[in-house]
Amino acid sequence: MTDQPATAQDRPRVVLGVSGGIAAYKSCELLRRLTESGHDVTVVPTAAALEFVGAPTWAALSGKPVSSEVWSQVHEVPHVRIGQTADLVVVAPATADVLAKAAHGLADDLLTNTLLTARCPVVFAPAMHTEMWEHPATQANVETLRSRGAIVIEPAVGRLTGKDTGKGRLPEPSEIFDHCVRVLAGAGELPDLYGRHVLVTAGGTREYLDPVRFLGNRSSGLQGYALAREAAACGAKVTLVAANVSLADPAGVDVIRVETTRELYDAVVERVGGVDAVVMAAAPADFRPTSVSESKIKKVDDGSAPSVELVQNPDILATISRDRAREGQVIVGFAAETGDAEHSVLDLARTKLARKGCDLLVVNDVSGGAVFGSPDNEAVILHSDGASRQVPRGSKDALARVIWEEVARRFDG
């Protein structure tokens, strides 16, 4: 028996809304990724979007006729049916104009009518100049949409139209695609993080010996980035503090870059008062050199090596757990442990949980270098009340979703 090809009815139905911004050309790549991965995509551009990318392009890439008007194929009632039958609506790019219309329930074209009739998850990927994004009217519209359950992912920082640079750039199509796949995969099952602001740390800090050398660790940042992506897909506003990570910025996430443990400490402490949850997935160095050479330390002919005096770094997890910035805040730590002759990994982790004072501790057995740089992970999540949850080996995205499930349960009491 051979597998039958999926019919259009079997495939997830995605509406790709495209509004009139220069970033509309990037949505061609998003459309290609959606169709090639088996999604049934209907493109609904605004009239302004067709000034940037013509209807024949959208029709050729989607395999479907394209219209921006409610008056085409009226007998099929497209202004109602398209939204009613969708499994996901994603608007990329979403201009300030479309965000305003969606927030206020205006419906003067096929896209805005579709947004009013959709009862599936709706994702907006804004793209506009920094001043437009930061304007109080746009921010109010974004908050209104988020309060109704829409996912408005944060724009990226980078080159805009002309010579301008700043926040407002459309995230890369690959990141938007991954975001949409997560939302579709978890529709109806995502942890509820709507209206929450979460802070995630990722990567490994560096403590410099001289301008060339540093003390560091093997953390890749993959787990922290997975946590940030999943939180954004669950509707949260996400701040990601990344220490020496060379991964693409997750769509919809504000990224703060740091190098040293002290910089990580300052970034977290500065922002912890404004968030509902902190997940400390980064691996900060426990120690740093007492002094840093201004020039490269040279080898000497007699074969001797310089001695390095170390001092302890501030304990970020213990500090924010002890000095809670707000009531009801959930703090999650990570423990990369190896057992010893007298203690198991979990013995050491339970001691660490008590010492740090956080609410949850995600425990990884890293014996033999496991976990670092791998797309997969397995863990035990320890609770401060003594409960635990075993998470079997799977993708780091899957572990991230379980962690947010446990955080959401804490929010619910």
Rounded CA separation 386/311 (Å): 33
Give the CA count within 13 Å in the CB-facing half-sphere of 331. Answer: 21
Rounded CA separation 52/45 (Å): 10
Give the CA count within 13 Å in the CB-facing half-sphere of 47. Answer: 4
Encoded tokens for 197: 């602001």
Give the C-alpha distances (Å, rounded to integers) separating 75 from 69, 83, 110, 283, 351.
Answer: 13, 16, 14, 59, 68
How far is Cα of residue 179 from the mean position of the Cα atoms in its chain? 8
Rounded CA separation 35/49 (Å): 20
**In contact, 110 and 68? CB cutoff 8 Å:** yes
Q: Residue 286: name the closest of 243, 256, 308, 316 by CA.
A: 316
Contacts of 20 by beta carbon, 8 Å cutoff, 6+ apart: 46, 47, 48, 49, 51, 52, 95, 97
Encoded tokens for 314: 């501030």
Catalytic position from the list 113, 141, 217, 313: 217
Give the C-alpha distances (Å, rounded to integers) separating 118 from 75, 108, 113.
Answer: 19, 16, 9
Catalytic site residue 217? yes
Q: What secondary structure letter does DSSP report for 52?
A: T
Residue identified by tokens 């020496």 is 244
398 CB burial (10 A radius; 0-12, 13-18, 19+): middle
| Residues labelled catalytic | 217
